[in-house]
Amino acid sequence: MTTNVSLRIGMLSFAHMHAASYANSLCQIPGVEIVGIFDDNAERGKEQAANFETEFFADADTLLDSGLDAVIICSENVKHRPMVEQAAGRVKAILCEKPIATTVEDAQAIIDVCAQTDTKLQIAFPVRFSPAMQQLKQILDSGQLGRIFSAKCTNHGYLPGGWFVQKEMSGGGAVIDHTVHVIDVLRWFWGAEVTEVYAEVGHSLVYPDLGIDDAGLLSFQLSNGIYGTLDTSWSRPSSYLTWGDVKIEVLGDKGMIRSNAFNQQLTVASNKVGKSRWVGWGSDIDFGLIQDFVAMVREDRAPSITGYDGLKAMEVALAAYESARTGRPVKIDD
């Protein structure tokens, strides 16, 4: 792997909370330059440009014409398609925040324009870079658990607010926000697709008058016969340490294993802060994602997480909404 190749990367929007983490990760990789930041919210964009000691661009085209190798898109979900279409063919690679889009049509358009312009497209699913999830995949690949029967999953987080609770910008609430992370990991584990979904979705269940789904319970079947459940919500307090609590319990005929993607912290009890707190240690999954993206661009290899991966994960969330609307299971072509 060549590590001394200088890469020029631009950031398109800081609307998503992960953008600052991705930018910080870029700053830690030798030979990577954040050329500039475009944001249609000028105040936010200027603030972040100052934070990362780079230039703010009021116009995305000007940034895209500045000789970039790649861009990272962290806009509101509905803006992913127009931003990808604007950047495709003008950079070598695009990292697009999840979910890839809010409709199958938009997701497919994103995939198509990148293919037509020979632009590498990677979707931001950082949970794949959790050491706990990587170890679980190794155990599953080894066959130690034997025949797998089920996967019991959770992904709970805090209410992000802002455009996340505006359906016209986000495409949905907690269900689309958190389902895609877990489904992507399960697809990665087994190379299998979700073929049927039944879901109950709660609107304003945790937060009265929220006006969008803040909780959901999914039951689903994978093409390899494994049965799964996912409890997803925005039910954690705003002080919660992480954006989610991705946990997976896998049951096989030779054993059972539980894995927690974020279980890398010490519990510290200190009178100085008034109560016990978690102090993180170990790996940063966002940094792992960005390292992988930078390596992909430098090595000119295929993305490890493709647009198709993004599409298939999003389809499950959309099927969950449809199931909740109709009260019936929804089948998905695999």
3-state secondary structure 146-166: CCEEEEEEEEEEECCCHHHHC
Cα 151 from Cα 149, distance rounded (Å): 7
Residues 25, 290: Cα–Cα separation, whole Å: 6
For residue 78, give the amino acid letter.
V
Q: Provide the strand spans (E) within the chain.
A: 7-12, 32-38, 55-57, 70-73, 93-97, 120-124, 148-158, 194-203, 213-222, 227-236, 247-252, 255-260, 265-268, 277-280, 330-331
74: DSSP letter: -
The residues, ordered by sequence, that sit 6+ positions from 330 with a Cβ below 8 Å of its Cβ are 196, 197, 198, 319, 320, 322, 323
* Tens of each residue's pLDDT in the chain, 334 residues: 445 558 999 999 999 999 999 999 999 999 999 999 999 999 999 999 999 999 999 999 999 999 999 999 999 999 999 999 999 999 999 999 999 999 999 999 999 999 999 999 999 999 999 999 999 999 999 999 999 999 999 999 999 999 999 999 999 999 999 999 999 999 999 999 999 999 999 999 999 999 999 999 999 999 999 999 999 999 988 877 667 789 999 999 999 999 999 876 566 666 666 666 656 556 799 999 999 999 999 999 999 999 999 999 999 999 999 999 999 999 999 7
Question: Which domains, and CATH codes, for the chain?
Answer: 7-124 (3.40.50.720), 128-283+313-331 (3.30.360.10)
pTM for the model stands at 0.93
Comparing CA positions, the residue from 126, 96, 124, 78 lying closest to residue 242 is: 126
- Report the alpha-carbon distance of residue 74 to residue 154 in Å, rounded: 24
